[in-house]
Structure 1
Amino acid sequence: MFMMFAMTSDSVGEIIKEVKVAFSVTNAQASLMHSLPMLGIAMSGLLLGFLADKFGRKNTIILGLAVFGVACYSFMIANDFVLIVSLMTLSGIAVGVFKTGALALIGDISSSTRQHTSTMNGAEAFFGVGAIIGPLIVAYLIHMGVAWQWLYVIAGGVCTLLITIALFVQYPSYKKSHSSEVEKVSVKQSFALLKNPYALGFSIGAFLYVAAESAIYVWMPSYLVCDATSVKATYDCYTSSTAQTLAIYSVTAFFILRAGGRFVGIWMMSHFNWALVLAVFSGAIVVCFVGGLLGGKQVALFLFPLSGIFMSVIYPTFNSKGISCFAKHQHGTVAGVILFFTAAGAAAGPFIMGMVSDVMGGDAKYGFMVATVFAAILFAGLLYNYLFNPTEQRLKEIESQEYGSH
């Protein structure tokens, strides 16, 4: 499911290039293909996250997948810009439903909070794989003269297979401690969680992380190009053919390093203090961003994609530890709250960076300065988390209550 979602969401840059030509839309209009699905995920996570707790993980996942599948297959008849954006928005809403169900399910199949974090890194690793193969599929389809809409048809086929599997797989039951608590599961509880320091802390962390990460796949190509005023991207300012190739495929290199890092993260989170790993890695991201800005394009060419390794474990761990601070019957709801802030960061981050760059003359480096500020605030928060460990007692309580560890 994570891979299928990433196949479509992280291909939007390649798709926007085709849609702008086909429908003669402006950059602002084309950007709706990214921002509206993110808004759909955000609102779905916040307003519908409780479904996984109220109606069960299996029913929620199948519902989300069914809506996503309908949206995907509908792209076969999508020949109007408004319809395309509408279907993308509907798919975003569906993602918010099945992803909160999947995130809650991870808690049900985990035997400890530590295993929960490792499993979460594994799930997000497949998201990283989807982020790599999605744009490659779109590029191949276009090269072969096939409409990009077939990417969604392929995703719809995967979705149909996932629904079939979900129908026949026996899902584990999750603990409903008190009937009164379960009855309270609703949209109102989602808003109540916004005041909870654990939910809010990890949610703000997710927002900052995603805002910084999005600078890479949204603005790095604009920063690395040699002549930003040229209609066609040029890379002749790089002295070697290897450097030019890396500049062209820098985003792919970033996604490959991020995906590989997440598989390594499964092992790291099982053997090391998660708070220390996040503090060190977030500091390394700041170093990569600052180094890439001070050293210019020739240095950023290597440091910006390299940041993918250090970004790899941060978001899955935020998700895992944030969810693990709550009882299992609240996992879907809190996952939805974190997902809301995640999608908000993905939508707001690039937009803010773009506005700052425009005000400063259009140079993408100013957008990266904003991203560096996001990364620095994130590092400060994670350093505080390591030094003072505010979640230690809460995680121990949940470990004892929900996972039977004493």
Structure 2
Amino acid sequence: MTDATNTLTNASRARIILAMMACYFLFAVLLNSVGTVILQSINSFAVTKTQAASLEGFKDLSIAFMSFLIASMIPRIGYKLALLGALAAVLCICLVTPQLGQFYAFKLLFAIVGCAFAVVKISVYALVGQLTDSPSSHSALLNTIEGVFMVGVLSGYWIFSFFITSEATSIEWLNVYYILALLSLVCLLIIVWAPIKKQHVPSNSSVVSEFTAMLKLSYQPLVLVFIISAFLYVLIEQGVGTWLPTFNNQILHLPVDVSVQLTSIFAASLAIGRLLAGQALKYCHWYVLLNICLFTMGILILLTLPLTQNVPQQAASTIFDAPLAAYLMPLIGLFMAPIYPVLNSVILSSLAKHQHASMTGMIVIFSALGGTTGSILTGYIFQHFSGQHAFYSALGPLFLLVITVFLFKQRSAPAPVVSA
């Protein structure tokens, strides 16, 4: 058990966990609103799908860039101060965005949110390492926090849908950012209240040496295979999740608000899938579970997409009027859910605690690059071919992920039982 864990009371530990959960909930709403914002930008600001897809790049590339720059510095700055700075920046941009009311404002919004999330994720993952004393407890807490993230994603779709009107070109939906600014303030106050201590940094270390150590991590075969796996997973998840509202609207001919609400099934599936996986992993090896999930994802894509061909236009005023395909496609999240947190937990549990911040930096960087690639590639195929072609394209990285997960299992040490 670590010194940090020994010196914390249960109440103090609970306050830190609450702070981490609150931050993850806020950023889940903000980051995963990109699909809704893409659809609304196409309608409200008359931008093309390719232009709208650039928002994913502003979000994910800023995450990658910020992670690369500061992953090794955050322990020196202090996790509490870093989190407060990130939340203050988000609070300001949420207040400014509705005032600007132009497409470029969202580029600025997602760039700042991306930079802030890089700080938050690195801090949270490092704090999980400090608050736990075994691989199983590490995985349990990480899965719980990632589960809260998915609850935030689910909530976000409904929060945004309440502000969307039937008038396609209206920008009244921008008022949602005042609510998110208020939520940012609440999170900031919770962080102030949480007893997050500054991590001890060895006196013989420097920013340069820690930055170099982070880069050296990527040369390890196990880490390299993990990085490729994380990249491929997020490519698939963001490609589907970001473009699902537009798919529902333009391929299934559903109203914008209904399209966004139905996308919440995807987030709910991810949340439920992670909770169920936590129980399944008590009895099933992680590699067996991930293979079941990967193959089921492929089957679901192949069975569902033919149902979306030539769907007739219909008057759908609620989610209950939607065709069957609108419910089946988001269920891919149920089987996608365990992959990312399980891979993260296995790689972090195999490293020393002082390497967790650097490893998290690598996770964030390549996850962000995968997210940008997935969204832009899906958007390009969507615009130049069709929505069906765009979602069929997920089968390529899915096949590659089967291979990299196999290599990851071969390279990793025998994994402990993972629980949630």
Task: Tell me how far apart the structure 2 counterparts of residues 157 and 43 of structure 1 sit (CA, whole Å).
Answer: 27
Code of the residue aligned with 1:195 in structure 2: it is Y
Which of the numbers 297, 322, 343 marks the counterpart of 1:318?
343
Cα shift at 1:107: 0.9
Match of 2:220 in 1: 196
Match of 2:129 in 1: 107
**After TM superposition, which residue ranges in structure 1, 4 or more long, deviate above 6 angstroms?**
245-248
Cα shift at 1:253: 1.6
Contact kept, 8 Å, 1:261 with 1:310, in 2: the verdict is yes
Code of the residue aligned with 2:219 in structure 1: it is K
Cα deviation, 1:251-273, whole Å, max 9, x if unaligned, reads 22221111112222333345542
**What SS is found at the alignment partner of 1:234?**
coil
The 3 A distance-change label for structure 1 pair 234 and 146 is closer
**What SS is found at the alignment partner of 1:198?**
helix
- Calculate percent identity across the aligned residue pairs: 24
Cα shift at 1:371: 0.7
**What SS is found at the alignment partner of 1:180?**
coil
Contact kept, 8 Å, 1:121 with 1:266, in 2: the verdict is yes
Code of the residue aligned with 2:182 in structure 1: it is G
The 3 A distance-change label for structure 1 pair 64 and 324 is farther
Cα shift at 1:301: 4.8
Q: Which runs of 5+ in 2 are unaligned?
A: 1-22, 310-322
Cα shift at 1:374: 0.7
TM-score by length of 2: 0.79
* Aligned counterparts, 1:6-405, within 5 A: 6-143=28-165, 147-171=172-196, 179-181=203-205, 186-220=210-244, 228=251, 234=253, 250-293=262-305, 301=326, 303-357=328-382, 362-386=385-409, 388=410, 390-392=411-413
**What SS is found at the alignment partner of 1:29?**
helix
Task: Tell me how far apart the structure 2 counterparts of residues 151 and 198 of structure 1 sit (CA, whole Å).
Answer: 43
Code of the residue aligned with 2:128 in structure 1: it is I
Task: Tell me how far apart the structure 2 counterparts of residues 214 and 183 of structure 1 sit (CA, whole Å).
Answer: 33
**What SS is found at the alignment partner of 2:204?**
helix
Cα shift at 1:321: 2.2
How many residue pairs get aligned? The number is 377
Match of 2:27 in 1: 5
Cα deviation, 1:12-68, whole Å, max 9, x if unaligned, reads 232334334444433333323222111111211222222333333222222222222
Task: Tell me how far apart the structure 2 counterparts of residues 189 and 126 of structure 1 sit (CA, whole Å).
Answer: 31
Cα deviation, 1:120-139, whole Å, max 9, x if unaligned, reads 11111111111111121111
CA RMSD of aligned residues (A): 3.1
Cα shift at 1:112: 0.8
The 3 A distance-change label for structure 1 pair 182 and 197 is farther
Contact kept, 8 Å, 1:122 with 1:266, in 2: the verdict is no
Contact kept, 8 Å, 2:87 with 2:188, in 1: the verdict is yes
Task: Tell me how far apart the structure 1 counterparts of residues 171 and 378 of structure 2 sit (CA, whole Å).
Answer: 34
The 3 A distance-change label for structure 1 pair 365 and 23 is closer
Contact kept, 8 Å, 1:61 with 1:99, in 2: the verdict is no
**What SS is found at the alignment partner of 2:114?**
helix
Contact kept, 8 Å, 2:378 with 2:391, in 1: the verdict is yes
More off after superposition, 128-137 vs 18-27 = 18-27
The 3 A distance-change label for structure 1 pair 325 and 74 is farther
Cα deviation, 1:305-344, whole Å, max 9, x if unaligned, reads 2221111111112222222232222211211111111111
Task: Tell me how far apart the structure 2 counterparts of residues 264 and 367 of structure 1 sit (CA, whole Å).
Answer: 29
Q: Which runs of 5+ in 1 are unaligned?
A: 236-244, 397-406
TM-score by length of 1: 0.81
Cα shift at 1:249: 5.2
The 3 A distance-change label for structure 1 pair 149 and 310 is same
**What SS is found at the alignment partner of 1:353?**
helix
Contact kept, 8 Å, 1:58 with 1:166, in 2: the verdict is yes
The 3 A distance-change label for structure 1 pair 295 and 151 is closer
